[in-house]
Amino acid sequence: MTDVAANWSAVVERVRSAAARAGRPEGSVELVAVSKLQPPEAIRAAHAAGARAFGENYAQELRDKAAALSDLQGLRWHAIGPLQTNKARYVARSAHVFHALDRVEVAEELSRRRTGTPLAVYVEVNVTGESSKSGVAPGALGPLLDAVRPLPGLTLVGLMTMPPLAPAEEVRPLFRSLAALARQHRLPGLSMGTTHDFEAAIEEGATIVRVGTAIFGERPPR
C-alpha cells in the first residue's frame, strides 16, 4: 500500500502542474480517486495519503464500501457509473455526488429517495455519438436539464463525459465540446479526464478529474 501513497502524491503534483499551465489557481480542480473493485485497504491507504474523494462505478459496491469505511473522516463518495432506477436508492443514500445522470427517470428516483443534503449531479453527455457510450446526445441536453433543475433533493452542478480510450490530443476536442456545452447551459462543473488524459482535460477546463489506475494500479477482476 506504500505505492498508493506515492502514486497519489505524484498525481496530485500532475494536477497542480496542469492547472498552472492553464493559468488556473491551485485548488480549482478536484481529484477523485477511482476505487472501483479496489479493496478497502487500498482506500484506507489513499485516505492516509490525503485523498478524500473516491469514485465507485457500481451502486452496491458503493453502498458496501461506504458502510465498511464509515470510520474514516471526510470521505466523499462519487458514484461515477451508469445507474439503473432499481439501484438508485443505494446512490441516493451513500453518495455525495453522481456523475452519470442521463435519464429523467433516474433523476426522479434519486430525488424521491434522497434525504438530507442535496445530491450534486452531473449530466453525462455522449459527445462522440457512439452507440456503445452512455449519456444524452448534445441536442437532447436542454430538455433533460430543464426536467432535472426543479427536482428536490438534487443540485445540478455540471456536465460529464467519458471519451474513447485514445491519446490525449485526440480526445482534447471532445473536452472542448463539453466545455462549450457547459458554458451554453450556464453550468460551472466539468467532470472529464481519467488516468490517460486528465492533464489535457484540466487544460480544457475540467473542474473534476477521475483517476484510478495511476493511483491504485490495475484493477482486480470483477
pLDDT at 212 over 80: yes
**Whether 72 contacts 44, CB under 8 Å:** yes
> What CATH number is given for 2-216 in this structure?
3.20.20.10
pLDDT of residue 140: 95
User: pLDDT tens-digit profile of 70-87?
Assistant: 999 999 999 999 999 999
Q: Which amino acid, 124? A: E
* Percent of the residues in the chain that have a pLDDT greater than 90, as a whole number: 89
Q: Where are the domains of the chain?
A: 2-216
- Region 33-62: mean pLDDT is 97
Output 193-196 pairs: Cβ under 8 A, ≥24 positions apart: 194/34, 194/162, 196/165, 196/168
> How would residue 211 be classed by pLDDT, with cut points 50, 70 and 90?
very high
Start-to-end Cα distance in the chain: 20
As a whole number, mean pLDDT of residues 24-52 equals 96
What is the predicted pLDDT for the residue at 109?
Answer: 98
Residues with Cβ within 8 Å of residue 70, at least 6 apart in sequence: none
Q: How far is Cα 63 from Cα 137, in angstroms, rounded to an integer?
A: 29
pLDDT given for residue 2 in this prediction: 63
Q: Which of 59, 22, 64, 38 is nearest to 190 (CA)?
A: 22
Is a pLDDT exceeding 70 seen at residue 154?
yes
What whole-number distance in Å separates Cα of residue 60 and Cα of residue 53?
Answer: 18
